[in-house]
Amino acid sequence: MEKKTKTFIFAIDGATWDIIDPLIDSGVMPNMAALMKKGTKAGLTTLTPTESPQIWTSIATGARPEKHGIESFMVKVPGTDKTTLPTSNLRRKSAFWNILSSPDYSVGVVGWWSTFPAERVNGFIISDHANYYKKEILKDCLELTDNALCAPEPKETFPESLYREIEPHIRYAYEFDNSRLGRFVQLGGEDLKRLTAYSTLSRDECLSVLKYVYIYDESFRRSGLHALKKFQPDLFAVFLAGVDAVEHHFWKFMEPGKFPGVPSELAERYGKAIENYYIYLDEVLGEFLGFYSSGDRVIILSDHGHGPNVDYGTNRASGYWKIASGTHEHGPDGILLLSGPEFREGAVISGASVLDITPTLLALHGKPVGEDMDGKVLSGAFKSAFLEKNPVSTIETHSPKDMGNYVPVESGGEDEYKNKLRALGYIE
Ligand SMILES: [Zn+2]
């Protein structure tokens, strides 16, 4: 049997070419640089407001938020005045992992927004709640060594039994060696003391944000590698959110001249945090690429770009925007890189949108595009011979009529999840 071409999607919240391009030029993102040479590059027009759950769900469905139903960081519980974190059973449109999963085609998804509770697929899903799993309770469990108290919540992963396997790969703040942040910033003695004292993320403490988002990304990196090795799915997608948060909190140290009141000593010590985070992501990319051959497809994308917050330190800034020196409020483009045998080499295309990812993935797999999708196939990224052989076709919809039948479900990680969103200014 012919070996199937595998597809790897590396999804980075808030990644921007403005930072990646110079890092590639200086040779510190070698994995990305190699893929750039063999792929098609684009800026990715985003949606406004630039809120991650709705955009990542639009990326996954090809549909606008009003159609897919995941409209913000907190969404209304149908038929009530309450709100909830957006869960997968609120989504009213099929995602690419639903559409492509079949008895002959396996998929694996790690960490993607609004994938809890994990849906049934041929393959696996490690949901976006998996790394927040009841850490404090878990800590008690470990100390009590009473396994009966430590039964995992259902639906953190699909299959449910996968949770037990990835749990050792999930990192927790209480066991984290703070000196590891020395790869991103120059830590002073006071920094280490403060880092030890942080029990959660705080929007006022940039190092606490760096610490926690690095831990979250490490959890998905490690559990993703475990699941990828075990399942070797035909399509694998991993989502990492850390760089967006680091950009929000550390931009002023990278470009201190653009902001009032940045102490030069801190600019010196924290000024490389963002760049170093991209370098870390390039290393992670390299680890995942170790499972692929040069004939496979690699797709790298972000939901929106990121830039300096021009209101920072002015009277115009309010709430979180007094604290955040990096922003994506005005919809800077995200990134897209498509590489593999079907895509053009070294090409740059324009006019790509976050809505186009799923239609393009379907065309790549010879599947019809849903007429209810708002995006288009990025035909300019394909070699012409591929599209001649595989003309784009359409189907009325890929989404079952009864999708989005919401049933309340909790993972136990909601408090920490909300705390992270609060520290990033997304919810009050
Ligand atoms: Zn953000």
CB 399 within 8 Å of CB 92? yes
Around 148, how many Cα atoms within 13 Å sit in the side-chain half-sphere? Answer: 0
Q: Which pLDDT value is given to residue 314?
A: 83
- pLDDT bin (cut points 50, 70, 90) of residue 151 is low
Could you tell me the distance, in angstroms and rounded to a whole number, from the CA of residue 251 to the centre of ligand 1?
A: 12
- The pLDDT tens digits of the residues spanning 89-119 come to 999 999 999 999 999 999 999 999 999 999 9
Three-state DSSP state, 308: strand
Could you tell me the distance, in angstroms and rounded to a whole number, from the CA of residue 145 to the centre of ligand 1?
A: 38
Q: Tokens 């994990």 appear where?
A: 118
Q: Tokens 């913000």 appear where?
A: 72
Could you tell me the distance, in angstroms and rounded to a whole number, from the CA of residue 214 to the centre of ligand 1?
A: 15
All structural domains of the chain, each given as residue ranges with its CATH number in brackets, are 7-423 (3.40.720.10)
52: Cβ contacts below 8 Å, ≥ 6 apart? 13, 73, 113, 241, 244, 303, 426
CA separation for the pair 404, 91 (Å, rounded): 5
Tokens of 370: 């849903």
Could you tell me the distance, in angstroms and rounded to a whole number, from the CA of residue 101 to the centre of ligand 1?
A: 30
Strands 123-126 and 7-12: unpaired
CB 369 within 8 Å of CB 62? yes
Three-state DSSP state, 350: strand
Q: Which pLDDT value is given to residue 331?
A: 80
Could you tell me the distance, in angstroms and rounded to a whole number, from the CA of residue 275 to the centre of ligand 1?
A: 16
- Is residue 2 predicted with pLDDT exceeding 80? no
Residue 229: how many other CB atoms lie within 10 Å? 10
Residue 23: how many other CB atoms lie within 10 Å? 18
Q: Which pLDDT value is given to residue 53?
A: 93
Three-state DSSP state, 120: coil
Could you tell me the distance, in angstroms and rounded to a whole number, from the CA of residue 307 to the centre of ligand 1?
A: 10
CB 186 within 8 Å of CB 408? no
143: Cβ contacts below 8 Å, ≥ 6 apart? none
Cα 4 to Cα 7, 34, 362, 393: the distances in Å are 9, 22, 16, 22
Cα 312 to Cα 19, 201, 248, 316, 338: the distances in Å are 20, 21, 11, 8, 35
Could you tell me the distance, in angstroms and rounded to a whole number, from the CA of residue 280 to the centre of ligand 1?
A: 19
pTM over 0.85: yes
- pLDDT bin (cut points 50, 70, 90) of residue 137 is low
Could you tell me the distance, in angstroms and rounded to a whole number, from the CA of residue 272 to the centre of ligand 1?
A: 19
- The pLDDT tens digits of the residues spanning 221-240 come to 999 999 999 999 999 999 99
Could you tell me the distance, in angstroms and rounded to a whole number, from the CA of residue 327 to the centre of ligand 1?
A: 7
Q: With DSSP H G I counted as helix, E B as strand and the rest as coil, what are the percentages for the chain, rounded to 5? A: 45, 15, 45
* Across 60-64, 153-157, 228-232, 362-366, least confident range: 153-157
